[in-house]
C-alpha cells in the first residue's frame, strides 16, 4: 500500500514538471503583458529577459507573427521638401518599387501659392487618413480622407474662442476608431496665449480663457468638451500613434499617454530611460511595431538606438528592451515602422531608407524628405465609404 502511494506521488510530481526548453518555447510566444505576469511563477522565468537565447527567440516570434491588419497593406508617406512642397505617396512592393503620388484634397490647394503644409494625425485607420493644415493658426482645416474613394469629410470647428486680445492654439492629439460605439473620433487640446500686439498696460484687463480638451464624434458630427488634465504632447514630431481603440502620444517629460476612445479613460506610462541618461539630450520616437506600442530612443544624437515595447498601459515595469541597434552614421532620425520589423529613417543626405530589424539590411526607398517632418504609416486600401 505504501509503495502504491509513493508511485502515485511520483506520477503527480512528474506530471507537474515542464522542461525548461519547452516552457521557454511557450513563453517566447506570449504577449509581453502575459510574459511579465508569468515571470512571478518561477525564479528562472523572472530572469528570462536577461537570457540572450530566450530574447532572440522572443524577438523572432514577435517579428514573424502574421497580423490580419498587415495583409494586402502598403505604406502611406507624407513627404515634406520645403514650404508649399508637400506630397503624399502610397508605397508598396518588397523593394518599395511601387510609388503612387496622390493629389491632396482640393481644400488644401491654395491658388497662386501652392499646397498648404499638411500633417497626418496618427495612423491610417481602415484606409482613412485624418489630415490637417500645420500653419499653426486657428481655425485649422481638418478632414477625414479616403484616398481610395476620394471621399472627404470636413471636420467642423470645435469650442475654441477667437478674440484679438489673445492667440488661440489648437493641438490635435489623436485620431482613432471606437469599435464599441462604431465611431471615428478625434481628440485635441485647446490653449490660449497673449497676443503679441497687446500693449503691456492692457494685459491686466485681458481675460484669457482656461485651456481644455475636446473630442470629436463623426457619428454626431460635433465636438464635446471633456474634463481631463492629461499631459499634452511634446514638441517631438512623429509622436502620435493609434492602435486597437487607443490613441497614444508622447507627453512632456518623457511619458506615453494612452487614451481609450470607447470609455474615455487614460493611462500614463513613464518611458524606460536609463538612470544615467536623465541629464542627457535624449530623443524618443513613438511607433507601433508589429501591433505593439513601441518607442525608439537615441541619446545625444548618436547612431546607437534602442527599441522598447510596452506590455501594459500605465505599468512602467512592463517595458521590454527588445533591440539595441548600431546604425551607420548616415542614419539620422526614425520616422515610423512598417511591417515585420521595418523601421524607416531619414539619412543625413535627406534620403529615406528602411532598416530591417530581422536581417540588419538597409534599403533605400528612392524618395527624399526633410528631417522632423516626414511621416510614414501602414496603409490598407478600403473601398467602403466613411
**Beta-bridge partner residues of 288:** 293
What per-residue confidence (pLDDT) applies to 135?
Answer: 64
Residue extents of the structural domains in the chain: 117-229
Residue 83 makes CB contacts below 8 A (sequence gap 6+) with 117
From CA 306, how far away is CA 278, in angstroms rounded? 15
End-to-end CA distance of the chain: 74
pTM value is: 0.86
CB atoms within 10 A of CB 316: 14
What per-residue confidence (pLDDT) applies to 22?
Answer: 79
What per-residue confidence (pLDDT) applies to 310?
Answer: 94
Residue 211 makes CB contacts below 8 A (sequence gap 6+) with 189, 190, 191, 192
Give tens-digit pLDDT for 161-220: 888 888 888 999 999 999 999 999 999 999 998 876 555 455 566 788 899 999 999 999
Helices (H) and strands (E) in the chain, counts: 5, 26
What per-residue confidence (pLDDT) applies to 84?
Answer: 65
The candidate with the shortest Cα–Cα distance to 338, out of 377, 364, 375, 365, is: 377
From CA 323, how far away is CA 307, in angstroms rounded? 5
Residue with cell 546607437: 304
- pLDDT < 70 positions in the chain: 1-18, 66, 82-84, 110-116, 135-138, 196-205, 236, 274-281, 300-301
What per-residue confidence (pLDDT) applies to 274?
Answer: 59
C-alpha 128, offset from chain centre:
16
Give tens-digit pLDDT for 75-99: 999 887 766 678 889 999 888 889 9
Task: Give the cell for residue 82.
Answer: 520645403
What per-residue confidence (pLDDT) applies to 114?
Answer: 52
What per-residue confidence (pLDDT) applies to 34?
Answer: 81
Report the relative pairing of strands 282-288 and 265-270 from DSSP bridges.
unpaired
C-alpha 369, offset from chain centre:
20
Task: Give the cell for residue 25.
Answer: 518555447
What per-residue confidence (pLDDT) applies to 91?
Answer: 92
Amino acid at each position: 500500500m505504501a509503495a502504491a502511494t509513493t508511485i502515485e506521488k511520483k506520477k503527480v510530481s512528474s506530471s507537474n514538471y515542464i522542461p525548461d526548453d519547452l516552457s521557454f518555447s511557450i513563453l517566447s510566444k506570449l504577449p509581453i503583458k502575459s510574459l511579465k505576469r508569468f515571470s512571478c511563477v518561477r525564479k528562472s522565468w523572472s530572469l528570462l529577459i536577461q537570457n540572450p537565447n530566450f530574447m532572440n527567440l522572443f524577438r523572432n516570434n514577435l517579428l514573424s507573427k502574421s497580423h490580419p491588419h498587415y495583409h494586402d497593406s502598403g505604406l502611406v508617406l507624407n513627404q515634406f521638401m520645403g514650404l508649399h512642397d508637400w506630397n503624399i505617396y502610397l508605397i508598396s512592393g518588397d523593394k518599395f518599387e511601387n510609388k503612387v503620388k496622390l493629389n491632396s484634397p482640393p481644400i488644401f490647394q491654395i491658388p497662386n501659392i501652392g499646397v498648404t503644409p499638411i500633417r497626418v494625425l496618427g495612423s491610417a485607420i481602415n484606409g482613412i487618413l485624418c489630415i490637417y493644415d500645420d500653419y499653426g493658426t486657428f481655425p485649422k482645416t481638418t478632414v477625414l480622407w479616403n484616398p481610395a474613394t476620394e471621399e472627404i469629410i470636413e471636420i467642423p470647428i470645435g469650442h475654441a474662442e477667437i478674440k484679438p486680445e489673445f492667440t488661440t492654439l489648437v493641438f490635435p492629439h489623436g485620431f482613432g476608431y471606437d469599435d464599441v460605439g462604431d465611431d471615428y473620433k478625434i481628440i485635441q487640446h485647446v490653449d490660449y496665449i497673449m497676443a503679441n500686439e497687446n500693449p503691456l498696460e492692457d494685459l491686466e484687463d485681458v481675460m484669457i480663457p482656461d485651456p481644455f480638451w475636446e473630442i470629436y464624434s463623426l457619428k454626431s458630427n460635433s465636438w464635446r468638451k471633456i474634463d481631463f488634465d492629461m499631459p499634452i504632447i511634446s514638441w517631438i514630431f512623429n509622436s502620435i500613434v493609434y492602435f486597437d481603440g487607443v490613441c497614444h502620444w508622447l507627453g512632456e517629460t518623457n511619458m506615453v499617454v494612452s487614451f481609450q476612445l470607447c470609455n474615455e479613460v487614460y493611462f500614463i506610462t513613464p518611458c524606460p530611460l536609463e538612470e544615467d541618461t536623465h541629464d542627457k539630450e535624449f530623443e524618443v520616437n513613438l511607433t507601433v511595431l508589429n501591433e505593439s506600442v513601441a518607442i525608439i530612443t537615441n541619446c545625444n544624437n548618436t547612431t546607437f538606438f534602442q527599441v522598447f515595447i510596452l506590455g501594459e498601459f500605465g505599468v512602467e515595469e512592463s517595458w521590454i528592451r527588445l533591440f539595441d541597434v548600431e546604425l551607420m552614421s548616415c542614419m539620422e532620425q526614425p520616422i515610423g515602422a512598417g511591417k515585420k520589423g521595418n523601421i524607416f529613417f531619414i539619412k543625413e543626405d535627406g534620403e529615406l531608407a528602411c532598416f530591417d530589424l530581422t536581417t540588419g539590411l538597409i534599403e533605400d526607398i528612392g524618395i527624399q524628405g526633410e528631417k522632423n517632418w516626414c511621416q510614414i504609416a501602414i496603409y490598407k486600401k478600403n473601398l467602403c465609404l466613411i
